[in-house]
Amino acid sequence: MTVSSTATPLTEIEAAVAQLRVTFGTNKTKAISWRKQQLRQLYAFIRDQYPLIEAALKKDLNRNPADTQLELVILLNEVADAIEHLEEWMKPTASAPTLLTFLDTAVTRREPLGVVCIIAPFNFPVQLLLGPLIAAIAAGNCVVLKPSEMATASEALLIEWLPKILDMDAFRIIVGGVKETTRLLEVKLDHIFYTGSTSVGKIVMAAAAKQLTPVVLELGGKSPVYIHKDVDIEVAARRMCWAKTMNCGQVCIAPDYVMVHQDIVAPFAAALRKVLLEFYTEDAKKSTEYPRMINQAHTKRLVNVLDRQLALKHSELVIGGDHDVSDRYIAPTVVSNVKVSDPLMEDEIFGPLIGILSVTGEDEAIEIIQSRDRPLALYVSAKDTRVVNKILDNTISGVSVVNDYVFNMVLGDMPFGGVGSSGMGAYHGHSGFLAFTHQRGMVWRGTDFLTETVHKFMYPPFASSPFALFVSRVAVVKPLPSEFGLLLRKVVKRVAPILGQFALLAVAFYVGRSFQAGAGVASKSTPVLGSAFAGKVFQIVSNATESVLRSGSFVGLMDLVRGKK
Amino acid sequence: MQHDQAQHRPTDLDEIPKIVESLHAHFNTNKTKPIEWRREQLNKLYSFIIDQESLLAEALYKDLRKDASSIMADIMIVSREAAHTIEHLEEWTAPQASHKTLFTMFDNNQTLTEPLGVVCIIGAWNYPIQLVLGPMVAALAAGNCILLKPSEISTHCEALLAEWVPRIFDTDAVKIVTGGISCSTVLLQQKFDHIFYTGNGNVGRIIMQAAAKNLTPITLELGGKCPTYVDDAVNVDVVAKRLVWAKLLNAGQTCLAPDYVLVHKAVMPQLLAAVKKAISELYGLDTKNTAHYGRIINKNHTQRLAAVLERQLALSHSNVITGGEYDIDSHYVAPLVVAQVRETDPLMEDEIFGPLLPILEVENEDEAIRIINKRDHPLCLYINSDDKAVVRKIVGSTRSGTVSINDYLVNMIVSDLPFGGVGASGMGKYHGKSGILTFSNQRAMVWRKSDMLSEKIHELVYPPFGLKPLPFALVNYFTGYRKPSDFKLAFNRYVPVRFILGVVVVGLVFEIGRRVGRGGPFFA
């Protein structure tokens, strides 16, 4: 495939956004039918053009078919999820009435933000552009898309295909690099969704500050791993190698540095070596399934870090270390005995290098994690649940996965996003919809006599009179809920649906009774089959109900039935 | 009005980094995470407001000459918010279980709502107590350590908070700093986990830029010109009364105050007469000597308002309905109503934030929509109309933080309604659950097993793949691959499956029980 994409002229960027504003003004994108249609189109594109996408990713990153598949299935699921829940997500939610507002309609509306911009990185050029796009479409926005210029084949594919499938009145693709992106950030947008590095994230946020544009930043950071001494070493090693070599380590939630309990450092390193040989043989360069770095610059960056690390006397190379910059190849590499201040511990690695730190236990691991920036993902492998809970309770991270890696991506209903320097805001599923939605509170009051009478208590000078003050105090001040009240509330919440079921059965019981009587009379005078049959059915139901009503302890049983512990 | 100097001293600038550091250290002890601690702090906040109402009222009167009813509106809303939050705290912070797929069916997958860490709340002077304690309710409920920075302009309330905050709250977790711009500047250089700012757009931009350096998430509660549309299908007297009430509350210094009014030309004369009447009804003819008419916060702001007023009245087309007087020394500005204002007039430039009410005539709701959409998105949009179609049309074609129909400010009382701007009027929301989410980190947790069975399933995705077939369908299946199906959608929506199942199963079980035990002692 030849790359024929030419950069969007800088002068056209503002016009593109202006045109989207016009489209947004027509309210076309707000209709649920439009959103669903666009989502269906996107779904069909991913499903039908699967081989094309796979080929593009192979070209850009030598992505193996399994990773592409996982990525695209996640994407498809996300579209399906959005279509399935869209109506539920869009529905305005009513607020609890108060004494002053019980006559009114008070709801929270879910409205689109307007013209939003999605900037995607190179490491998952398709997923990280289309994933946020799904959320943006679901929320009803017009979207400016900026695919990564580094993943050239994927960029070309998206430029070619998106206009074919989407309603291009509401979407625009900006092609280009830093210059074009800078110009885009100068234009007034209603939301910016950026996925990429921490340093650029800061630039994006500073640019957004000038226009007061809200941002979602999906950044990376060094995601720590702690391996406790009680783990199944081979399983832990295999999962780590899988996650670390996926996409050649160019995953924002890839495990970055590994803190291993001092008792098992040697066996764990040996296991890593064994698994890597199993996965990619002696020479990973020849393995067709071993991915590549995105470009030579990134390869050089990694080679530089690796050289600096290996120059330190204390570092022990367990496996790997080969590289070929012209082929964008870095062998899966494990370096043991890394220290906290080493080159491998400076920036996010974003490549297939594993640095092993030996720690005395979970306390030291917590200390190291706390002393660094907050990671996007935190990984703990341990059998002892107390160790896991201790680490989770004492650290902060965007996501945390225990005994495995990156699995939160499979679960489409989990919010995905960083905290602190690993980003702000989250998406996937409902949280993605909310990220692109403005939650607009609406109060609709009447002007009738009754409402106006209530309102009198707020008008001066009457409002300041002792009587009015007393009344509005009663209306506004809520008594402090007691512990008993809170408990009662919890119980009622549990029991209410069960009572509902009983009410229904009770109604069936009495209807059945009357039918039974009615059917008996009817069959004597005019034989009506239907009513006799209905009477029989109701009789059975009513008998059952009677049993229920007579029995004592049904709550526990209901809980069983409803699958609650 | 004389501003007697408050007794407290501003915080030493060198102290600020140490204070922030101590808060970070305290957060790491996890003491703020237990729900009991949060509830205890919220209880204290609630009791403080209820018990010290007279003190709060005094400070508010000294700063803004607020009358008893606006004090009520100002601080009692916070107590309400606290009580509401205590009531729902457990429910709002409970972990959310994720749906299961075949790949993850043995796992424990939850989304945890965890505190962010150390958050900074910067208050504003127009509601000096509410805009500090209100966000604080949410921040405490989410389990954060908090640094409060009340406005230095409302001196009495600042002094009051500086005195009482250490007395009521856990002093390790809640700190307060006081001071002016230099204090805020130093504050913004510190590393926080969230900054919550209420104020104006210019400072909002500065804060966001400062926050960008540390990648600190922010909530900006800004103002803007809130438009009001008055349709021809209205009860003019009611509309005028509510408009005057909302506009003159706190002498117009409310971020939610109606800023300019777009009136349908058919009701213009009636409305102007009704507004004039409403002002005299609510505040009397001599507002300067009316006890419950507020004052402007300080001389600067009074001068600013006087300047806008003079520039507007200098235009020959301005039609003054009432007002125009002011007294800079006593911070007094009379309620001013100007009709026939044009879109480009001085009163239509910036947020007015004072008791000046420009009235513009429009042809119909379409022109109103055009004018509203031409300007920045407002914090709140007000529509007065008894015609539902008109209301829906305006709501559907505009954007605003909140929208209130036929009344003003009432959205503050409804606890569950998210409050916050959009576009130039701010970003981020609070009040009720949305406040907790603002101050929380939604942390996804996936807890997998490493037993044989899980590992066997996991092997599907391990390289090398050349050795094992990788059927698309299989992986699809394991990852819970779904197709969007309209039938399923409709079914899920209209059929309460679990409920019906519950009814059927309970019925059946007891029917069996009845048959088995018929005549037995239990059912006798």
For residues A215 and A232, membership in a common domain is answered with no
Per CB-CB distance under 8 Å, the chain B contacts of A203 are: 212
Per the structure, the count of domains in chain B is 3
CB contact under 8 A, B443 and A497: no
Task: Give pLDDT, residue A544.
Answer: 64
Blockwise average pLDDT, block size 10, chain A, 565 residues: 67 94 95 94 90 92 83 88 90 83 87 96 94 97 95 95 95 93 94 94 94 94 95 94 92 95 96 93 87 93 95 94 93 95 94 95 95 94 95 94 89 90 93 96 89 86 86 84 87 81 74 60 46 63 61 44 41
For residues A233 and A159, membership in a common domain is answered with no
Task: Give pLDDT, residue A50.
Answer: 86
Q: Where does the pLDDT of residue B171 fall: very low under 50, low under 70, confident under 90, or very high at 90 and above?
A: very high
Q: Which residue of A has its CA nearest to B449?
A: A403
What whole-number distance in Å separates Cα of residue B460 and Cα of residue B173?
Answer: 49
CATH value at residue A170: 3.40.605.10
Integer CA distances (angstroms), B404 to A104, A107, A133, A386, in order: 11, 10, 31, 51
What whole-number distance in Å separates Cα of residue A330 and Cα of residue A73?
Answer: 28
Report, as an integer, the average pLDDT of B211-240: 94
List of long-range contacts for B400-404, beta carbons under 8 Å, 24+ apart: B400/A440, B400/B226, B400/B425, B401/A440, B401/A441, B401/B377, B401/B425, B401/B426, B402/A440, B402/A441, B402/A442, B402/A443, B403/A109, B403/A440, B403/A441, B403/A442, B403/A443, B404/A442, B404/A443, B404/A444, B404/A445, B404/B380
For residues B219 and B336, membership in a common domain is answered with no
Q: Which pair of tokens denotes residue B401?
A: 């933080």
Q: Which of B441, B488, B494, B508 to mutate to test the interface with A (most CBs of A within 10 A)?
A: B441
Task: Give pLDDT, residue B518.
Answer: 60
Does B120 participate in catalysis according to the annotation? no
CATH value at residue B312: 3.40.309.10
Integer CA distances (angstroms), B465 to A62, A278, A313, in order: 14, 11, 38
CB contact under 8 A, B462 and A388: no
Task: Give pLDDT, residue B484.
Answer: 65
- Smallest Cα–Cα separation from B42: which of B441, B438, B436, B419? B436
- Domain region containing B70: 27-223+432-442
Task: Give pLDDT, residue A521.
Answer: 47
For residues A279 and A401, membership in a common domain is answered with yes
Q: Where does the pLDDT of residue B386 fall: very low under 50, low under 70, confident under 90, or very high at 90 and above?
A: very high
For residues A372 and A467, membership in a common domain is answered with no
What whole-number distance in Å separates Cα of residue B116 and Cα of residue B96?
Answer: 18
- Domain region containing A230: 223-410
Task: Give pLDDT, residue A553.
Answer: 40
What whole-number distance in Å separates Cα of residue B368 and Cα of residue A222?
Answer: 52
Residue B511 is assigned to a structural domain of this protein = no
For residues A45 and A93, membership in a common domain is answered with yes
CB contact under 8 A, A404 and B395: no
Task: Give pLDDT, residue A469.
Answer: 85
CB contact under 8 A, B489 and A87: yes
ipTM above 0.95, yes or no: no
- Smallest Cα–Cα separation from A114: which of A12, A187, A44? A187
Residue A357 is assigned to a structural domain of this protein = yes
For B80-116, write each residue's pLDDT tens digit. 999 999 999 999 999 998 877 767 777 888 999 999 9
- Smallest Cα–Cα separation from A434: which of A171, A79, A140, A36? A140
For residues B204 and B336, membership in a common domain is answered with no
- Residue A526: CB atoms within 10 Å: 8
CB contact under 8 A, A205 and B511: no
Task: Give pLDDT, residue A98.
Answer: 75
CB contact under 8 A, B209 and A206: yes
Task: Give pLDDT, residue A175.
Answer: 94
For B405-457, write each residue's pLDDT tens digit. 999 988 787 878 899 999 999 999 999 999 999 999 999 998 988 888 888 87
What whole-number distance in Å separates Cα of residue B517 and Cα of residue A468?
Answer: 63
Closest partner residue to A396 (CB to CB) among B117, B209, B415 is B117
For residues B179 and B232, membership in a common domain is answered with no
Give the distance from residue A328's alpha carbon to the nearest chain B alpha carbon, in angstroms.
20
Is any Cβ of chain B less than 8 angstroms from the Cβ of A177?
A: no
For residues A196 and A229, membership in a common domain is answered with no
What whole-number distance in Å separates Cα of residue B75 and Cα of residue B386?
Answer: 32
- Residue B389: CB atoms within 10 Å: 10
Q: Burial code of A407-424, b = ≥16 C-beta within 10 A, e = fewer?
A: bbbbbbbbbbbbbbbbbb
Q: Which pair of tokens denotes residue A249?
A: 């380590």
Is any Cβ of chain B less than 8 angstroms from the Cβ of A537?
A: no
> Which among A155, A218, A348, A362 is annotated as catalytic?
A218
For residues B97 and B210, membership in a common domain is answered with yes
pLDDT > 90 in chain B, percent: 67
> Which among B145, B183, B255, B380 is annotated as catalytic?
B255
Size of interface A-B (CB pairs under 8 A): 403
For residues A257 and A323, membership in a common domain is answered with yes
For residues B130 and B74, membership in a common domain is answered with yes
Residue A128 is assigned to a structural domain of this protein = yes
Residues with Cβ within 8 Å of residue B434, at least 6 apart in sequence: A439, B418, B419, B420
Per CB-CB distance under 8 Å, the chain B contacts of A541 are: 507
Report, as an integer, the average pLDDT of B2-21: 76
Residue A2 is assigned to a structural domain of this protein = no
Task: Give pLDDT, residue A72.
Answer: 87
Report, as an integer, the average pLDDT of B363-390: 94
pTM for the full predicted model? 0.88
Is any Cβ of chain B less than 8 angstroms from the Cβ of A178?
A: no
Task: Give pLDDT, residue A105.
Answer: 87
Does pLDDT of B1 surpass 50? no
Helix (H, G, I), strand (E, B) or coil at B6: coil
Report, as an integer, the average pLDDT of B337-357: 94
Task: Give pLDDT, residue A4.
Answer: 47
CB contact under 8 A, B413 and A101: yes
> Which among B81, B158, B221, B365 is annotated as catalytic?
B221
Report the phi/psi class of residue B179: left, alpha or beta, with left for phi > 0 and alpha for psi in -120 to 50: left
Residue A371 is assigned to a structural domain of this protein = yes
Per CB-CB distance under 8 Å, the chain A contacts of B107 are: 407
